[in-house]
Structure 1
Amino acid sequence: MRHRPWISRGDRRNIARLLVILLVVTLLTPVRPASASAELLVNPGLETVDAGGFPSCWERSGWGDGAYAFEVVHPGRTGANAMQVTLTATGGGDRKAMMLENPSCAPNVTPGHQYDLSTWYTSTTPDTVLTAFRRDVTQGWVCWTDLVSLAPATSWTMASVRTPQIPPGTDQIVWGVTIYGTGVLRTDDYAMADATAPAPGSSCSAGAACTQGSWQVLPVESPARGIHAVVLRTGDVLLVAGSGNSEDMFAAGTFTSAVYHPRTGTFTVVPTPADLFCSGHVQLPDGRVLIMGGNKAYPAADLSHGYEGLRDSYVFDPATATYQRLNDMSAGSWYPSATAMGNGDVIALGGLGEDSSGTVATQYFDVSQGRWLGIGEAHQTWSYWGLYPSMILMQDGRLFYTGSHVFGNGLPGSGASIYDYDAATITPVPGLRNKDQRDQSMSVLLPPAQDQRVLTLGGGNIESNPDAHRLTDIIDLKAASPGYVAGPDLPGGTLTGGVAETAAQGKMYVSAVLLPDGTVFETGGALHNRADPVYEASLYDPVTGVFTPGMAVDPVPRGYHSSAFLLPDGRVMAVGDNPGDGSFDQRVSVYTPPYLFHGARPQILGGVDEQWAYGSSHTVTVDTPIVRASLIRPAAVTHSSDPNQRFVELPMSVNGDDITLNLTSNPNIAPPGWYMLFLLGADGVPSVASWVRVS
């Protein structure tokens, strides 16, 4: 809880005088480029103090029962004053010397912009972090993000960081240094400037591709039906078909997988040990792929049983391109979800069991033991979550069921909920519209993952089979009582043949892909159950909350059993389509987004650290100005479902051509494993990804 001191009338007069001085200085300061913008802080040098002797526009703040002291010490690094916080016992909390959360003191910011923050400090403890709060125009002041950890320093040391893009609806931020371990922290000479580069003049000569991007259909078809797609840490793509939704192949024991090599445009067929059709899959911390369940049987002609789920489980090793058998799951799983947790373990929920009924067991893979726990070893709620329920890991370690699922109606209730594995509790979440028409909708954790906002888009219902809708809904999981609110409608598209029966068709089987520039590319889909492909693609900007329609359209229909996903070179690959006549389109399409037509890619000069520890910083030298950096978790997608897809912001400290990237200390924000490191240039062009392992 923040502690806000009472402001006396005299303090208000002092603040008013400061604002007048600041206004005069601003009016006399010539306009400069964004990279050298004016100081945005009031009293950044701490030289003006209030009636209580503490720097004006700053406050003593924090929480917990630990023993602490705030002081103004003399001299400062420059001038007379510095702030000092001493924490002699933590009591489970922290202390912060923070800017005051009021209109006169908190710096104004612009959504979508980024800001360079810096301060000078000394510290006797490594347990310090630069923390930011933001003022949401609807919610008020909320915790925003921890930006960078500070190493101990016996002499004055400068800490600097570039913020992520300011979220929508934010008009002010405050920030300061938090100390959460015993020790002494001293700070002085704060600074804040708008770092957002002005929009560059376009030099693109690629015609419509400059704003729409372009698609290429590869000249070779995939030897495996692209029902499951996993981007491997090698940069290759694993496509898993199993029997590929073919009863003839199932009867013959013909189960297929293939690895696509983007560098050469070729495929390698992989021996496949079981019918992994409609299994679950997730990236493990070491880069192998955990695959669980699959198809034990197709429905019987005499209706004695439906689809039956396998207990089988395997890991696919990218280094050898082979499957290795693990112990069986505790229950059969056909269409299970799979979510990586902050400790690297995996929780599997939902699907159908060996008797064709819904699997109610919570199944838990312990990565340290390399095995599935027995049913009595895992915490149980005995709840049925449906088929491919989208379960997104939250920053506090709980799972958010978004309401996206596969086949028919959702579960009874609100359509979305928060699941606490440790407490074995389920809490309904309100606000999801048309919850029973979210069959093969898609949900994504919006960039950046630190903001904890989820977008759910599109969907239909294979049972009642209405026209798929265009609805999107958004939820802020940081809110005190999270609930969905309506987002903008999908732009809508045209049906087969390019002629729409009515304007703006909705879509189920939709794909949504996180891009290195922080936007979401949505593509593919169909109007009805395994019928009527919809041709449309757009870009969603989480900062503005707006879809940009009119992106280039994949010439291949992408309905049931289709997927799209990000490649390490910043392009998007699309596979699959399995219409109601039983055919399967094995063509592969690759989309080049508009950003790749706007200049040269940023280059990292020298090697990148491959191993990244939580809370660590890594410095790279680049050949061009960089405005954003991120880690994007590689895809493991099927049936419009990849609940582990996430874009992790890397706050930056910029010193000329040297960029220091700061990784979150929270493994629930970035679960352990391999990530694609992207740097974004000032012209919006991303680098080719470097692979790093977070652990």
Structure 2
Amino acid sequence: MSRTRPLPLFSRKDRVRIAQVLVLALVLALLVPGRSSAAANLLSNGGLESVDATSFPVCWEKSGWGDSAHTFEVTHTAPHSGRNAMKITVSAISSGDRKAMMLENPSCAPNVTPGHQYDASVWYKTTTANTVMTVFRHDVAQGWVYWTDLATLPVTSAWTQKTVRTPAVPPNTDQIVWGVTIYGVGTLQTDDYALTDATQAAPGTSCSAGAACTAGAWQVMPFDSPVRGIHAVVLKNGDVLLVAGSGNDPDAFASGTFKTAVYRPSTGTFTNVATPADLFCAGHVQLSDGRVLIMGGNKDYPAADGSHGYKGLKDSYIFDPDTNAYQKVNDMSAGSWYPSATVMGNGDVIALGGLGEDSSGTVATQYFNAAQQRWLGIGEANQTWSFWGLYPSMILMQDGRLFYSGSHVFGNGLPGSGASIYHYGTGAITPVIGLQRKDERDQSMSVLLPPAQDQRVLTLGGGNIDSNPDASRLTDLIDLKQANPVYQPGPLLPTGKLTGGVPQTATQGKMYVSAVLLPDGKVFETGGGLHNRADPVYEASMFDPVTNKFTAGMATDPVPRTYHSSAFLLPDGRVMAVGNNPGDGSFDMRISVYSPPYLFKGGRPQILTVATRQWAYGSTNQITVDGPITRAALIRPEAVTHSSDPNQRYVDLPMSVSGTTVGLNLTSNPNLAPPGWYMLFVTGANGVPSVAQWVHVG
């Protein structure tokens, strides 16, 4: 990539300006003590050692602009340390510069905190004084922009270290990259780059980010979503599909205004997508090839005279992230408004529940055959003629059966115990007992806890839009490995504050809750409301499946998140939240992003290579990393709406470690990791996860 910046240090005015910046930086350095020399290096591959004899170093790129005769070289002759250094030779130049720069992507660019200062360090040799340390920053609204030149490097024939403290990081900046620029005739060699947080930690702590060290931090993006984010799907390329359809707006439905957008978190940009039907309150799930199967949607809003309620569409489409376009597939056998969608171990999809074309409950079992790329006819799929409710949470078990957790939408739970196990092959439905207040689990959320191999499900919160009691703090846990699984009461959700800062009482909980599986094996719980489309609850906590306890006091989203809200994991380890549709019909278009506490605890491990992106069941897959790691896992990208994503799962990868080469052992059971694209995370010895790499299972 060619990056441009102001021409360095040519005029007296520029020299004065830079001198002022450096004096200011020196003053700030004296006022803000730095960390010790043991501070974590936030750079990926700062030593340039992850390269073979011919490749350019991982996380670095050849960059520059203008007209010059130049060469880039990875030299193995007398580097400062290790095997490699970078060498740039400029033999003639009429304009511009050349530089070896860090890659501007989430995996390589170090995360920074606004207001903090950082010590940038490099070992170098140069034959020309036309050499300067150049920094770019990622602004969440503008993307990557030039920030500043830190210092001019004096000529030296011996390896010399230069360390400069940056100015305070500007607001809305989440990452920076930097390198050394040469803009005159000569030769520049560099090695052993480092970046450390120079902002002083609070006394008695090892983290300088204050409350964020234990609570994490939210950032509301300085732009709005162009669509109502009622459905959110993380795509195989890291983008986010936001589907509104008519967006719960009868006027938009009447005018045929249906909306979809693709959001790119790395740049903060949106792409509008032509939407073929009202996919409002459809079902969705990723197919094994990474395309998104979308089923059903809204055929009609309720009639003013009460003659009918919402009606479900039979239509079904596949969204392709490679083309950002929908493709029609054959119709379902019955209308589906609020259907579930669960991918099976063979890649097929089962859809259950929802409302049909006549507003009555859909009792058909609808089955998408992945090999044939079509919905089976009503007589081809096995039928029980059972109504499973609206958005019933149907979680695939390790033996291929489906666990209906009792989480649902709109009113009471199903008759009986409120939870059950369903065998598609035989049609058997076995009640599961123990679910507390099964008629007050409307818009609760259920997740298969990390790791999927443990087969434990957590169900959180809930209420009832009809009777409209205070939503509950109840949670329930179940071990599906047992011969006769039974729900057991879990710890109560922590209490928070209501709109206006009024504390909740000890008995009040929340519905519309979101639960997100994180790379460190914990579950982040956020968002919700006390009543039907009203009274947002500002509370967030972290659930640890090892201890079965919540840690209260996580940072709370400044934006209310109740009905039609979602939260989901991004490949860079952050959590994104969208939506809020209160009873007055308004819709909050703001986007929030949460950085969990682990992103404030030092450098991130780097996955340097993945031997193959195609992983077979039962295989061992080689990766290389840049340092010690303690765990590795696959996380299935989310497809979430209405506090429901039954396909969310965290698959543990037992490791075989030989230095920085790691063998990751994938389960042989496709019911634990249904075929598809997954985010591969590794976690360092400091508890910080990498940015994900994408691999395909199956």
The answer, yes or no, to whether TM exceeds 0.5 is: yes
CA RMSD of aligned residues (A): 0.9
- Letter of the structure 2 residue corresponding to residue 462 of structure 1: I
Q: Determine the C-alpha separation between the residues in 1 that align with 2:651 and 2:290.
A: 18
Question: Is the contact between residue 540 and residue 547 of structure 1 (CA under 8 Å) also seen in structure 2?
Answer: yes
How far residue 608 of structure 1 moved from its aligned partner, in angstroms, is 4.4
Answering whether residue 211 of structure 2 is matched by residue 208 of structure 1, we say yes
Q: Determine the C-alpha separation between the residues in 2 that align with 1:481 and 1:368.
A: 34
Structure 1 residues 577-626: Cα deviation after superposition (integer angstroms, max 9, x where no partner): 00000000010000000000011110122344210000000111111111
- Aligned residue in 1 for 2:625: 622
Q: Determine the C-alpha separation between the residues in 1 that align with 2:205 and 2:403.
A: 41
- Aligned residue in 1 for 2:338: 335
Q: 1:591 aligns with which of 591, 594, 613?
A: 594
Answering whether residue 524 of structure 2 is matched by residue 512 of structure 1, we say no
Q: 1:603 aligns with which of 603, 606, 618?
A: 606
Aligned length: 495
Following superposition of structure 1 onto structure 2, how do residues 150-165 of structure 1 map, counting pairs within 5 Å? none
Question: Is the contact between residue 474 and residue 486 of structure 1 (CA under 8 Å) also seen in structure 2?
Answer: yes
* 2:453 match: secondary structure: helix
Answering whether residue 382 of structure 2 is matched by residue 347 of structure 1, we say no
- Letter of the structure 2 residue corresponding to residue 252 of structure 1: S
* 2:417 match: secondary structure: coil
- Aligned residue in 1 for 2:472: 469
How far residue 497 of structure 1 moved from its aligned partner, in angstroms, is 1.2
- Aligned residue in 2 for 1:114: none
Structure 1 residues 661-692: Cα deviation after superposition (integer angstroms, max 9, x where no partner): 00000000000000000000011100000000
Question: Is the contact between residue 610 and residue 624 of structure 2 (CA under 8 Å) also seen in structure 1?
Answer: no
- Aligned residue in 2 for 1:392: 395
* 2:251 match: secondary structure: helix
Answering whether residue 455 of structure 2 is matched by residue 479 of structure 1, we say no
Q: 1:228 aligns with which of 231, 243, 246?
A: 231
* 1:436 match: secondary structure: helix
* 1:497 match: secondary structure: helix
Q: Determine the C-alpha separation between the residues in 2 that align with 1:484 and 1:202.
A: 40
Question: Is the contact between residue 279 and residue 298 of structure 2 (CA under 8 Å) also seen in structure 1?
Answer: yes
Question: Is the contact between residue 610 and residue 622 of structure 2 (CA under 8 Å) also seen in structure 1?
Answer: no
Identity of paired residues, percent?
79
Following superposition of structure 1 onto structure 2, how do residues 242-257 of structure 1 map, counting pairs within 5 Å? 242-257=245-260
- Letter of the structure 2 residue corresponding to residue 354 of structure 1: E
Answering whether residue 315 of structure 2 is matched by residue 312 of structure 1, we say yes
Q: Determine the C-alpha separation between the residues in 2 that align with 1:377 and 1:503.
A: 51
Answering whether residue 689 of structure 2 is matched by residue 679 of structure 1, we say no
Q: Determine the C-alpha separation between the residues in 2 that align with 1:620 and 1:607.
A: 5
Q: 1:643 aligns with which of 641, 646, 666?
A: 646
Answering whether residue 641 of structure 2 is matched by residue 659 of structure 1, we say no
How far residue 202 of structure 1 moved from its aligned partner, in angstroms, is 5.7
* 1:512 match: secondary structure: strand
Q: Determine the C-alpha separation between the residues in 1 that align with 2:594 and 2:675.
A: 29
- Aligned residue in 2 for 1:565: 568
Following superposition of structure 1 onto structure 2, how do residues 64-463 of structure 1 map, counting pairs within 5 Å? 203-463=206-466
* 1:605 match: secondary structure: strand
Structure 2, unaligned runs of 5 or more: 1-203
- Aligned residue in 1 for 2:554: 551
TM-score, normalization by structure 1: 0.71
Poorly superposed stretches of 4+, deviation over 3 Å = none
Structure 1 residues 546-588: Cα deviation after superposition (integer angstroms, max 9, x where no partner): 1000000000000000000000000000000000000000100
- Aligned residue in 2 for 1:533: 536
Structure 1 residues 124-169: Cα deviation after superposition (integer angstroms, max 9, x where no partner): xxxxxxxxxxxxxxxxxxxxxxxxxxxxxxxxxxxxxxxxxxxxxx
How far residue 656 of structure 1 moved from its aligned partner, in angstroms, is 1.5
How far residue 501 of structure 1 moved from its aligned partner, in angstroms, is 5.2
Q: Determine the C-alpha separation between the residues in 2 that align with 1:309 and 1:343.
A: 27
Structure 1 residues 479-528: Cα deviation after superposition (integer angstroms, max 9, x where no partner): 12100000000012110011125346300000000000000000000000
- Letter of the structure 1 residue corresponding to residue 366 of structure 2: Q
- Aligned residue in 1 for 2:143: none
Q: Determine the C-alpha separation between the residues in 1 that align with 2:340 and 2:452.
A: 20
TM-score, normalization by structure 2: 0.70
Question: Is the contact between residue 496 and residue 504 of structure 2 (CA under 8 Å) also seen in structure 1?
Answer: no
Q: Determine the C-alpha separation between the residues in 1 that align with 2:358 and 2:249.
A: 20
- Aligned residue in 2 for 1:139: none
- Letter of the structure 1 residue corresponding to residue 271 of structure 2: T
Q: Determine the C-alpha separation between the residues in 2 that align with 1:202 and 1:384.
A: 54
* 2:254 match: secondary structure: helix
- Letter of the structure 1 residue corresponding to residue 312 of structure 2: G
Question: Is the contact between residue 395 and residue 448 of structure 2 (CA under 8 Å) also seen in structure 1?
Answer: yes
- Letter of the structure 2 residue corresponding to residue 681 of structure 1: G
* 2:233 match: secondary structure: strand
How far residue 643 of structure 1 moved from its aligned partner, in angstroms, is 0.1
- Aligned residue in 2 for 1:490: 493
Structure 1 residues 91-125: Cα deviation after superposition (integer angstroms, max 9, x where no partner): xxxxxxxxxxxxxxxxxxxxxxxxxxxxxxxxxxx
Q: Determine the C-alpha separation between the residues in 2 that align with 1:456 and 1:503.
A: 19
Structure 1 residues 449-473: Cα deviation after superposition (integer angstroms, max 9, x where no partner): 0000000000000000000000000
> Which stretch shows the higher mean deviation, 497-506 or 231-240?
497-506
- Letter of the structure 1 residue corresponding to residue 244 of structure 2: A
Structure 1 residues 286-313: Cα deviation after superposition (integer angstroms, max 9, x where no partner): 0000000000000001111100000000
How far residue 633 of structure 1 moved from its aligned partner, in angstroms, is 0.2
* 2:270 match: secondary structure: strand
Structure 1, unaligned runs of 5 or more: 1-200
Q: Determine the C-alpha separation between the residues in 2 that align with 1:206 and 1:443.
A: 32
* 1:556 match: secondary structure: coil
- Aligned residue in 2 for 1:77: none
Question: Is the contact between residue 493 and residue 505 of structure 1 (CA under 8 Å) also seen in structure 2?
Answer: no
- Letter of the structure 2 residue corresponding to residue 591 of structure 1: Y
How far residue 315 of structure 1 moved from its aligned partner, in angstroms, is 0.2
* 2:363 match: secondary structure: coil
Q: Determine the C-alpha separation between the residues in 2 that align with 1:493 and 1:557.
A: 13
* 1:676 match: secondary structure: strand
* 1:427 match: secondary structure: strand
Q: Determine the C-alpha separation between the residues in 1 that align with 2:681 and 2:405.
A: 27
* 1:534 match: secondary structure: strand
Q: Determine the C-alpha separation between the residues in 2 that align with 1:628 and 1:480.
A: 30
